[in-house]
Amino acid sequence: RGRLQRDGVPELPPRLRASAVAARATRIWDAACAAGKPSMFRVLVRVCAPDLAIGVFSGCVQGLFSALVRPLVLKRLIEALTGDESMFPPSVWIVLLGAAIFIEGISAADRMYFGADALGLTGMSAVAALAQRHSARLPSCLQDSGPSVVNLVGTDAVRLVENQKGLILLPLGAVSIAGGVAALLLTLGPMGLVGLVPMVLILGLNAQFARLAKEAEHRNLQLVDARMHIMGQVVHGVKAVKLTAWEEKYAKLLAAARARECVPLKRWRIFLQYTRQVGRANPIIASCVLFITLALVEPEAMARPADVFAAANVFLSLRLPFIILPEAMTYLATLHVTLARSE
């Protein structure tokens, strides 16, 4: 293999270039300001509308096929293999199962490209361009009154991309849960809803973790601003600092500011890990509750392998949504903080 050359790299589509995104974001923001209702969220939605629409649609298709179509096709396949009544022979159901998995994979790839990569880069370019434009128009006497443009571009815009990659999974999670509920009702009847009770309770616990993570993120960004202001003082007054030999004092001051900044950052990471691990255990706990309840209340249901395997497949499909939904709550809360600071 030869070394990667510049000519071998695919060209970036014109609509994703920073200059085009900045011009589009500036035009939309000026129109919103003229209407008296400027909102960074609405501006980003309009700037990223094509990629957002494709990403959301692909996530919905992936959730529908993973939680509803695939378990039901698997149920029919097992019924055909075990000799129960079936509309088609097993070979037809195998082909349909393969087609469902193929469509699920294609929609997942589209969701990751349009909803994560393209959407995130467009949003970061728009926020960075608007922050730089605002800082150029701000009087010097007001430049230290709020978040610095360096922090908005270097920290908030980057975190916007990180949060957005988790948020694009929200449609996938919502459609997967709706499809999973429908699949459980179609396979096990009302008894299938027993497994959703612990899921909802654990989801409420994760909502509290998301609220605590939002508070930690807000405090962390405030402390980042304080540290950046100290660094700005050092840069602007470097001659005085060198002349009076204050380097060590400022170094200690910056180290203390960074230490204070890391405390809420650690809390945010801890709460994020709480939501991930509890979300991973959620479908396992729910499936155990469901199958134990079925064995005690309706033992004959456990003798139907098609229903049991289909229900187990539904809970396996719901594992990802119940991991990403709590994370999406955390990302949504932190995104609200980031956009509020950008405005």
Q: What is the spatial distance between Cα 72 and Cα 310, in angstroms, rounded to a whole number?
A: 7
CB count, 10 Å around CB of 278?
Answer: 18
DSSP designation for 84:
-
Structure tokens at 117: 């990569």
Evaluate the CA torsion angle 93, 95, 96, 102 in order and state its sign: positive
Ordered structural domains, the chain, with CATH: 6-342 (1.20.1560.10)
- The answer to whether residues 29 and 43 touch, using CB atoms and an 8 Å cutoff, is yes
- The answer to whether residues 91 and 126 touch, using CB atoms and an 8 Å cutoff, is no
Q: What does the pLDDT read at residue 96?
A: 93
Q: What does the pLDDT read at residue 142?
A: 45
Q: What does the pLDDT read at residue 103?
A: 95
Per-residue pLDDT reduced to its tens digit, 225-250: 788 788 877 777 877 777 777 788 88
Name the stretches of the chain with pLDDT < 50: 141-143
Q: What is the spatial distance between Cα 76 and Cα 82, in angstroms, rounded to a whole number?
A: 10
**What is the CB-side half-sphere exposure of residue 276 using CA atoms within 13 A?**
8
Per-residue pLDDT reduced to its tens digit, 185-197: 888 888 878 888 8
Q: What does the pLDDT read at residue 141?
A: 47
Structure tokens at 253: 């001051």
- The residue among 48, 308, 325 whose CA lies nearest residue 175 is 325
Per-residue pLDDT reduced to its tens digit, 321-341: 877 777 777 777 667 666 666
Task: Quote the pTM value.
Answer: 0.70
Interacting residues of 240 by C-beta distance below 8 A, sequence separation 6+: 246
